[in-house]
Structure 1
Amino acid sequence: MLLLLLGIVLLHIAALVLLFVSTIISSLLCVNDALANADCGSLIDNALVCLLPPTEWIQAVQALMILSIIFSCLSLFLFFCQLFTLQKGGRFFLTGTFQIFASLFVMSGAIIYTVMSPEWVSDKYTFGYSYILAWVAFPLALISGLIYVILRKRE
């Protein structure tokens, strides 16, 4: 049982780290050539565009990503609280619900970015690693949320 709990916590922390990195590093867009692997902040002179214009939908994506981090942190905190206070045989419904909400916020933010970016992105640009990390964090958060809902507390 201890290994199961440790695996679940590690899965949750991995999803949380991916959410933090994809939100803090705003590299959602990079040039699609040899410069694409370079650091986004260091090549401003070479027209490597990594900072996005402050439009309403970008702010919505950022808000959804921040909400996903908040819900994921709350979910981890609730898991540890419920681990010590939940009755034997009880399920971690509240923890799982918060984590599923976090995954839905990530998915919503990534979908908004995907749908709205063709309006201003030309063919020479490609999605950056923050965008990819957000899509990787989505299934990890969803899986951990579903595991929390299924998990029962044992002695």
Structure 2
Amino acid sequence: MSIALAAISILHLLDLVILITSTAANAWIVDGDLSADLWYKCTSKNGGYHCKQSINEDWLQAVQALMVLAVLFCLLSFVFFLCQLFTLVKGGRFYFTAVFQILASLFVMSGAIIFTVMNYAAASSSYGYAYVLAWLAFPLTLGSGLIYIILRKTE
């Protein structure tokens, strides 16, 4: 059972790192020297890197809020998992942890969908690795949330 707990903990921490990276990295949109994320739009010219704030639209603020909430809920669910690991009775399930993890997956999915629908990128631009990581975080977070529902505490 300790191997399963270690694997679940590693999966959860991996998911948390992916969520933090996708939220903070400057690579949601890439177009030559231009790269944009949820917070800044940066260009690299003449060996310098110049950043300015991203557009101030409601849909982008919603994506920002959803991604930050996904990171917070994933972090809280890991803390709750550790607390439940020591306080839960034998045979109990990790429902509280699972609810927070599934909510985190729904937040990241909603944020990525809103970004996909509302972003009017030029034909020459493409989605960057942070955008891909956000979509990768969704099934990982949902899967670990479902694992927490199934998981029972044993001695």
TM-score by length of 1: 0.87
Q: Which runs of 4+ in 1 moved over 3 A?
A: 48-52
1:84 partner letter:
F
Task: Evaluate the alpha carbon distance shift between residue 50 and residue 80 of structure 1 in structure 2; reply closer, same or farther with a 3 A threshold.
Answer: same
Return the alpha-carbon distance in structure 2 between the equivalents of residues 130 and 148 of structure 1: 26
Higher helix content, 1 or 2 = 1
Q: Is the 8 A contact 1:26 1:51 kept in 2?
A: no
Name stretches of at least 5 consecutive residues in structure 2 with no aligned partner: 36-40
Return the alpha-carbon distance in structure 1 between the equivalents of residues 6 and 135 of structure 2: 24
Give the corresponding residue for 2:153: 153
Give the corresponding residue for 2:88: 86
2:65 partner letter:
A
Give the corresponding residue for 2:23: 23
Return the alpha-carbon distance in structure 2 between the equivalents of residues 124 and 138 of structure 1: 27
Return the alpha-carbon distance in structure 2 between the equivalents of residues 141 and 44 of structure 1: 38
What do residues 49-104 of structure 1 show as CA deviations (whole Å, max 9, x unaligned)?
99632211111101000000110011000000000000000000000110000000
What do residues 94-139 of structure 1 show as CA deviations (whole Å, max 9, x unaligned)?
0011000000000000000000013xx1101111111111001111
Three-state SS of the structure 2 residue aligned to 1:132 is helix
Three-state SS of the structure 2 residue aligned to 1:43 is strand
Return the alpha-carbon distance in structure 2 between the equivalents of residues 59 and 45 of structure 1: 31
Quick check: 1:143 aligned with 2:139?
Answer: no
Q: Percent identity?
A: 49
TM-score by length of 2: 0.87
Return the alpha-carbon distance in structure 2 between the equivalents of residues 51 and 126 of structure 1: 20
Name stretches of at least 5 consecutive residues in structure 1 with no aligned partner: none
Q: Is the 8 A contact 1:65 1:109 kept in 2?
A: yes
1:147 partner letter:
I
